[in-house]
Amino acid sequence: MKQTLRQSMSWLHTWGGLWFTWILFAIFLTGTLGVFDDPISHWMREQGKIGEIAPSTVDQRSRAVELGQRHLAAVSPRADFWSIGLPGDENPNIRVFWRADEDAPFKQAQLDPLTGAELQPGASRETEGGHHFVHMHFEFHAGMAGIWIVGAATMAMLVALVSGIIVHKKIFADFFTFRPGKGQRSWLDGHNALGVLTLPFLFVISYTGLTIFWATYMPAGVLARYDGSEDAFFARLSEEPAPRPLQHIDALMPELAPLMRRGEAAIGREASFVVVEHAGDRSAAVRVFGRFDPDAENDRLVGRGSGSALYDAITLETLDVQLPNTVRGGSVLQTQRTMNALHFVRFGGYPMKWLYFICGMAASAMLATGAILFMVKRRKKSANEFGAATARVYRGIEVLNVAAIAGLILACAAYFWINRLLPLDVAERGTREILLFFAVWLASLAHAALRPSLAAWREQLAACALLCLGLPLLNLATTGDWLVAALARGDGETAGVELSAIGFGLIFLAMLRQLRRRAPTLTVDRPETAKTAAIDAIGGR
Amino acid sequence: MSVPSPAHLRLALGSRVLAAVGGGYALASVFSIWLSYLLPAELPEAVLGATLFSFAVYTAAVIWAFAAASAARAWLGLLLPGAAMGLMAAALQLGGAAA
């Protein structure tokens, strides 16, 4: 490779960018939606209609712990993990989670807060809500494999950022350059302006995304330097008691309700969760978690803990108490936690969330324009990179562009519709919603593969616009709740979701108009010409 | 600008990709171990701090692998600092064990 630095970096940016752009677009788009996971869950669970849930008394919480413990002892007396979620602002029911051993999947049930009876499917709109987007964002619902795919793509993002900067001679000038209606040049200007505008955000969000999973992605340091046990290493790092090894000796579990009261007194805060590790074993420990205080979140990046108390379940001895809003661990751990907080936007309240949302959408658009630019450039003049297979590879890239960009947006919009249209009483409803989300995405890929590119772009964008603009009507038709009612009762979360959907719908309509203006005749004679016309239209010329 | 067609050019490109992905990761790993001996912090924190920096090293290594004049130089530029840091870390480990 006899090349200048800029040439080799341009090559790296083009090809490294292309092969990762579809995964990265999915990570950025779902992560951006995930900024508002709580409002999305609020909309999906119809919490606006339920209204405020009255604060509970200590007796009510004790009773809930009793009922939760009774259920768990019946379904899984010996368990790696029990968790009892107490009724709170977001959910009036008792939620129990458990898993039999470390390798078993988590199971869950919701219990009536007064009788402890298990609530049957259909009693409420069971959904993963906004968590679906968060899980898509960091693991594609694929567990460890997904985490590694996201990590590799994020490294590619950092490399694309650095190589992109080297390629650009005049970053500052590019920022003010936009030449619309000039085809390839406009796509490049758009890609550059969006990239430069969000550059600090892109670096911060990519780097802090990697350091959340530092010990997973880069375990060499820990593996080379831990002495004795890894658990002890991490316990020393976070200055917390190390997890206790299973003893395999049966033991009777104590009443958890009195421990909850002790925990509340020790941390000076209402309990939100009571968790048992190694239930039914001599090594069992009970942890009482304090309720999260959203107001503590706005003015600081770390040290906003809700407090917790840890007890030996057999001797009832206090093992550890961490007070709310206190910090543990040294300055390096605080640095890492600060980086996490920057990634999760756990600071600054709604204004900061909106800033992240706008930056995330701009970043997604930057990735999309990059992917489209790649094809626009080559439609004008094939670079013939793949020899005889070039035309076929280009077609494949076109199809993936449509499915990965328009198709994913469509699947995300469809997820809201699925939530309202799927019957309430189907089993595993939350999981089914997510399966249907993937089904829509897959259908968009099939559609993109069967239709000429321009038609595929146009039809999928039209479907996106339809789903977004129709969302408030769908909500009115299926639940009787709607935008005006939400605004009238001051329910900003429900109204925010629907107003944002309308906003996105209008953006997709504007894109469609642009497409129509640039490609007035789609009924072209030969397929080859149709394809060229299609890509030219996507490219603007 | 494109995937080169002659066989030896393809091989050189494959070698660079391997240097970037595998060599870069190995270099970042060795770097995190090496730096953990030098950072002025207690053991668990020093490891965490060193690891936080290692992603920047990985990024730089990938850029280097494609910026180097040849695939051989790309490998050399990763292996030399990697070996130096590895040896230093080994010496520090032995010195620490002896003390």
Q: Which of A284-298, A328-342, A356-370 is predicted least confidently?
A: A284-298
B52/A331 touch (CB, cutoff 8 Å), yes or no: no
- Name the least confident of A96-110, A221-235, B2-16: B2-16
- CA separation for the pair A462, A480 (Å, rounded): 26
- The residue range of the domain holding B30 is 7-98
- Look at residue A184 and tell me whether its pLDDT is greater than 90: no
Rounded to whole angstroms, the Cα distance separating A202 from A196 reads 9
Q: From the candidates B3, B45, B87, B88, which should be mutated to test the interface with A, based on the most A CB atoms within 10 A?
A: B45
Q: Is the pLDDT of residue B1 over 60?
A: no
Q: A218, B43: Cβ pair inside 8 Å?
A: no
Q: Is the pLDDT of residue A521 over 60?
A: no
Segment A226-233 mean pLDDT: 85
Per-residue confidence (pLDDT) for residue A522, from 0 to 100: 38
Interface of B with A (CB under 8 A): 1-3, 5, 12, 28-30, 32-33, 36, 39, 41-52, 54-56, 58-60, 62-63, 66-67, 69-70, 89
Of the two residues A56 and A26, the one the predictor is more confident about is A26
Chain-chain contact of B52 with A335 (C-beta, under 8 angstroms)? yes
The neighbour count for residue A486, using CB atoms within 10 Å, is 23
Q: How far is the C-alpha of A540 from the C-alpha of A243, rounded, in Å? A: 60
Q: Is A314 a residue whose pLDDT tops 90?
A: yes
Sign of the alpha-carbon dihedral angle for A500, A506, A509, A513? negative
How buried is residue A58: exposed, middle or buried, by Cβ count under 10 Å (0-12/13-18/19+)? middle
Is B79 contained in some domain?
yes
- pLDDT tens track for A152-162: 999 999 999 99
| CA-based end-to-end distance of chain A | 34
Residue A248 has what DSSP assignment? Answer: -
- Least CB–CB distance from B45: residue in A163, A220, A237: A237
Instruction: With cut-offs at 50, 70 and 90, classify the pLDDT of residue A174.
Output: low
The DSSP H or E segment spanning A456 is helix A453-479
Q: pLDDT tens for residues A241-258?
A: 888 888 999 999 999 999
Reported as a pLDDT band with limits 50, 70 and 90, residue A523 is very low
Within-domain flag for B57:
yes
Residue of A nearest to B35 (CA): A221
pLDDT at A502 over 70: yes
**Angle ∠(A372,A378,A383) on CA atoms, nearest 5:** 140
**Number of domains making up chain B:** 1
Distance CA A150, CA A134 (A): 12
pLDDT at A441: 98
Please give the Cα distance from A47 to A53 (Å, whole number).
10
Look over chain A and give the mean of its residue pLDDT values, rounded to a whole number. 89
Q: Which residues of A72-83 are buried (b: 16+ CB within 10 A; e: fewer)?
A: bbeebebbbbbb
Q: What is the number of other CB atoms lying within 10 angstroms of the CB of residue A34?
A: 23
| Residue A308 β-bridge partners | A289, A322
Do A332 and B28 count as a contact with CB atoms less than 8 A apart?
A: no
For residue B14, being part of any structural domain is answered with: yes
Contact B66 A11 (CB under 8 A): yes
Residues A215, A220, A224: CA angle, nearest 5 degrees: 115
Backbone angles phi, psi at A191, to 5 degrees: -60, -45
Which residues on A lie below 8 Å from B63 (Cβ)? 9, 12, 159, 162-163, 166
Q: In what order do the strands lie in the sheet with A271-279?
A: A107-111, A94-99, A79-85, A271-279, A285-290, A308-312, A318-322
Of residues A162, A220, A225, nearest to B63 (C-beta)? A162
Question: Is residue B1 in a domain?
Answer: no
Residue whose token pair is 């594609």: A140
Q: Which of A114-118, A172-176, A488-492 has the lowest mean pLDDT?
A: A172-176
Question: Which has more confidence, A526 or A279?
Answer: A279
Has the ipTM of the complex gone over 0.85?
A: yes
User: Residue B66 and residue A155: Cβ atoms within 8 Å?
Assistant: no
Among chain A residues, CA nearest to B86: A224
Q: pLDDT per residue over B35-70, tens digit each? A: 999 999 888 999 999 999 999 999 999 999 999 999
Nearest CB to B44 within list A162, A220, A236: A236
DSSP code of A115? T
Q: What is the mean pLDDT of residues B65-84?
A: 96
> Residue B98: what pLDDT?
59
As given in the structure block, the two tokens for residue A301 are: 């990046």
Contacts of B69 in chain A (CB under 8 A): 1
Chain A residue with minimal CA distance to B66?
A: A8
Q: Please indicate whether residue A186 or residue A473 has the higher confidence score (pLDDT).
A: A473
Mean pLDDT of B22-42: 96
> Which of B27, B34, B63 should be substituted to probe chain A, the one whose Cβ sees the most A Cβ atoms within 10 Å?
B63
| Domain assignment of residue B21, yes or no | yes
Query: What is the C-alpha separation between B54 and A218, in angstroms, rounded?
Result: 8
Specify the range with the lowest mean pLDDT, choosing from A52-56, A212-216, A376-380.
Answer: A52-56
Instruction: Determine, yes or no, domain membership for B2.
Output: no
Average pLDDT over residues A452-457: 94
What is the Cβ-side half-sphere exposure of residue A50, based on CA atoms within 13 angstroms?
A: 17
**A158-180 average pLDDT score:** 80
Report CA-CA distances (Å) from A35 to A350, A460, A534.
Answer: 10, 25, 34
pLDDT on residue A175: 62
Poorest-pLDDT segment among A95-99, A284-288, A296-300: A296-300
In angstroms, the CA A98 to CA A94 distance is 13
